[in-house]
Amino acid sequence: MGISSKTIGLHGDTLQIAIMQTPAARELVVGYALTSKKAKSFLQPKLRGLARKKGILFVAIDQKRPLSDQGPFDIVLHKLTGREWQQLLEEYREAHPEVTVLDPPGAIEHLLNRQSMLQEVSELDLSDCHGRVGVPKQLFVNTDPSSIPAAVMRAGLSLPLVAKPLVAKSHELSLAYDPTSLTKLEPPLVLQEFVNHGGVLFKVYIVGDAIRVVRRFSLPNVDEGDLSNNAGVFRFPRVSCASANADDADLDPHVAELPPRPLLERLARELRRRLGLRLFNIDMIREHGTRDRFYVIDMNYFPGYGKMPGYEHVFTDFLLSLVQKEYKRRPSYSSFEG
């Protein structure tokens, strides 16, 4: 965007007006700092191809060089951890406030720790929005494994319990059926009451204001017979995956029905505001036997968008909207000189 000036006469005096010109059409440059695995799954040919047609250029960031020596960027897209990277990015944000960073490192930290991850959800009141959303009872454990059964009893949690690593870098989880099995777990971790949900999980993808939902197969219901006949710790690599897509399966309509759209929109809007994030997903379940009782069991920053149907259109539209909002915030003229 450039600035031009125009001088006009005004009864013998001159008035110079500095006018902000409309930005010339050019590529939108998105610098990305992703792991090689993340870059491969996200920057698929269909995304790159559509981005080129829309004038969006993805450029890899060299993490060994100062960010200010690279670019210039309109947007920085990243999913890296570590204090050194966070410090580099925060310094870059301060030096280049005109660049949109997706998302602020401090805000991302909130979703990397399962002790704090669901705190904002637990404080929401969405009872007037076509359903109720909560979180399962959970307990943070950072103690000797032999003391876990007593801690669980004091907290009033009911078996079976889902055990998840405290740091949300791993999707692994375990299901513990009896008190003895709790002593075999490895802290630090979060224990979460298992809620029967018909074996279906709703993966809610958030991309700015856009919301997309897919159904995934999940862990099956647990009944009294299962508790009596099972003992020990059962480990799972993850609760759901793209290959377990349930959108086309022949499911009980009461289980398969998606959460109400108004509820999802309100939930996403509140979490975007509270977390300060624009790229994340919510894992939701519906309590089996109910229609309007939902639980958020996990959240992830910058999830596997490549598994979301039509993600390339949603994401490129989102990137373009960020730049349009930035131009709207700028003044139509800069100054008057007389």
Q: Among the residues of the chain, which ranges form H helices? A: 36-42, 45-53, 83-95, 105-112, 119-122, 148-155, 179-182, 224-229, 253-256, 261-275, 311-329
The response to whether 198 counts as a known ligand-binding position is yes
SS3 178: coil
* Residue 43 annotated as part of some ligand binding site: no
Cis upstream peptide for 103 (omega within 30°): yes
In angstroms, the CA 55 to CA 139 distance is 48
Torsion of CA 303, 307, 309, 311, to 10 degrees: 50
**CB-side exposure of 285: number of CA atoms within 13 Å?**
23
- As a whole number of angstroms, the distance between CA 273 and CA 262 comes to 17
Place of tokens 């050019």: 26
According to the annotation, is 197 in a ligand binding site? yes
Tell whether 71 is in a known binding site.
no
The tokens describing 271, both together, are 């979490």
280 is in an annotated binding site: no
Distance of CA 117 to the CA centre of its chain: 11
Binding residue per annotation — 273? no
Count how many Cα atoms sit within 13 Å of the Cα of residue 27 in the half-sphere of its side chain.
13
300 in a known ligand binding site: yes
- What single letter denotes the amino acid at residue 39? A
Q: Is 335 annotated as ligand-binding? A: no
* 338 annotated ligand-binding residue: no
Q: 234 a known binding residue?
A: no
Phi first, then psi: give them for residue 225, nearest 5 degrees. Answer: -65, -40
Give the three-state DSSP class for 2.
Answer: coil
230 annotated among ligand-binding-site residues: no
Residue 310's alpha-carbon distances to 11, 168, 214, 245, 313, in angstroms, are 60, 26, 12, 15, 6
The answer to whether 195 is annotated as binding is yes
Q: Is 64 annotated as a binding residue?
A: no
Q: Binding site annotation covers 257?
A: no
318 assigned ligand-binding residue: no
DSSP 47: H
202 annotated to bind ligand: yes
Residue 217 is assigned to a ligand binding site? no
| CA dihedral of 185, 188, 192, 197, whole degrees rounded to 10 | -70
- 164 belongs to an annotated ligand binding site: yes
Annotated binding site for 1D-myo-inositol 1,3,4-trisphosphate: 38, 79, 171, 203, 300, 304
Task: List, as residue ranges, the binding site for Mg(2+).
Answer: 283, 298, 300
Q: Which residues are annotated as a binding site for ATP?
A: 114, 164, 192-203, 218
State the binding site: 38, 79, 114, 164, 171, 192-203, 218, 283, 298, 300, 304
